[in-house]
Amino acid sequence: MSADFSEFGTVLVTGANGMLGQDLCPMLEDSGYEVIETDIDNLDITNEIQTRNVISDVKPDYVIHCAAYTNVDKAEEEQEKAELINAKGTENIAKACNANNSCLVYISTDYVFDGTKNSPYEPDDMTNPLGVYGLTKFHGEQAVQKYCPKHYITRTSWLYGHHGKNFVETMISLADKPELKVVNDQVGCPTWTVDLSDAIISLIDENADYGIYHTCGGGNTSWYGFAKEIFDQMHMDVNLFPCTTEEYPRPAKRPKYSIMDNQGCLRDWKLALKEYIELRVE
Ligand SMILES: NC(=O)c1ccc[n+]([C@@H]2O[C@H](COP(=O)([O-])OP(=O)(O)OC[C@H]3O[C@@H](n4cnc5c(N)ncnc54)[C@H](OP(=O)(O)O)[C@@H]3O)[C@@H](O)[C@H]2O)c1
């Protein structure tokens, strides 16, 4: 697992088989980085010794930490597992990065906020997660800040990509229902994994200041607005209706307002969706 020399440096990616990892890794390679792809089969982040050994063997310039427990609803009944992966696993990564002078990029989430604000969230706004997933990801942020000073925390939201289960594909698969109701009182920023990968690569390319960044799609919408745009762009005639959160109860509570200020670092979400749909293979 040792890396060849690359003038841009070596990047170890955790959770490389996930939805983000599968877009990020080839884009890093195209940008000139030597990429070491890892996932649970060769780097289980909950195994402290394995984590330390793998990172000290590779001595990467950067670790982009995509591995996570990501099932928001199931986390409500699997709190221990979510905490082990998202908090303890991230602590293991942060300590190993610090010991090897590697810069750590941690992918976090809008679900660290409670959604009670009514203007876009800034990186230093108060966090207050509503559910287990958001709480465990927040504990991951704390571990990164405590154990690895050389870090970027990039909070993203409403992620979709060609290599994973996501809202866009779920909506398309439901298009032939006689009637489709989608929540209209939760607003946020849809983000394509390719645009997020670009933003992450820019951070490390440009040697940006360490700290927290909001890396979500530009503009904002509700889940209903997102669904409507998907069907419009797909030229699909769907019997779509807005509904309230109360009409569509889920095990995990979600923030009603999770719009983040991305400082213009990602393009408008509708433009990204258009490209995603054009490149989509049925
Ligand atoms: N998806 C979203 O809407 C969203 C929104 C905001 C932030 N994020 C964050 O963005 C990042 C990437 O998300 P994603 O959607 O690409 O997630 P994903 O598709 O679920 O990928 C996560 C990867 O981590 C792996 N993994 C799980 N436990 C592990 C362990 N103990 N050791 C090593 N790898 C492990 C998973 O393997 P298995 O599949 O075998 O479990 C999977 O390959 C995550 O940090 C997530 O919290 C996601």
Specify if 185 maps to a domain: no
**Identity (one letter) of the amino acid at 279?**
L
Looking up residue 66, the CATH number of its domain turns out to be 3.40.50.720
Instruction: Please choose from 159, 170, 197, 260 the residue to mutate so as to test ligand 1's pocket, defined by most ligand atoms within 8 A of CB.
Output: 159
Q: 165 C-alpha vs ligand 1 centroid, how far in Å?
A: 11
Specify if 243 maps to a domain: no
- Is 69 among the catalytic positions? no
Cα–Cα distance measured from residue 33 to residue 53, given in angstroms and rounded to the nearest whole number: 22
Annotated catalytic residue within 106, 133, 213, 276: 133
Specify if 19 maps to a domain: yes
Name the CA radius of gyration of the chain, rounded: 19
User: Strand runs (DSSP E) across 117-243, as ranges?
Assistant: 151-156, 159-160, 180-183, 187-188, 191-192, 211-214, 221-222, 240-243
- Length of the chain equals 282
Question: pLDDT tens, position by position, for the chain (282 residues)?
Answer: 444 556 789 999 999 999 999 999 999 999 999 999 999 999 999 999 999 999 999 999 999 999 999 999 999 999 999 999 999 999 999 999 999 999 999 999 999 999 999 999 999 999 999 999 999 999 999 999 999 999 999 999 999 999 999 999 999 999 999 999 999 999 999 999 999 999 999 999 999 999 999 999 999 999 999 999 999 999 999 999 999 999 988 999 999 999 999 998 999 999 999 999 999 876
Specify if 45 maps to a domain: yes
In which domain, by residue range, is 41 found? 10-166+190-217
Cα angle value 41/169/117 (rounded, 5°): 90
Specify if 250 maps to a domain: no
Specify if 57 maps to a domain: yes
Cα–Cα distance measured from residue 282 to residue 271, given in angstroms and rounded to the nearest whole number: 20
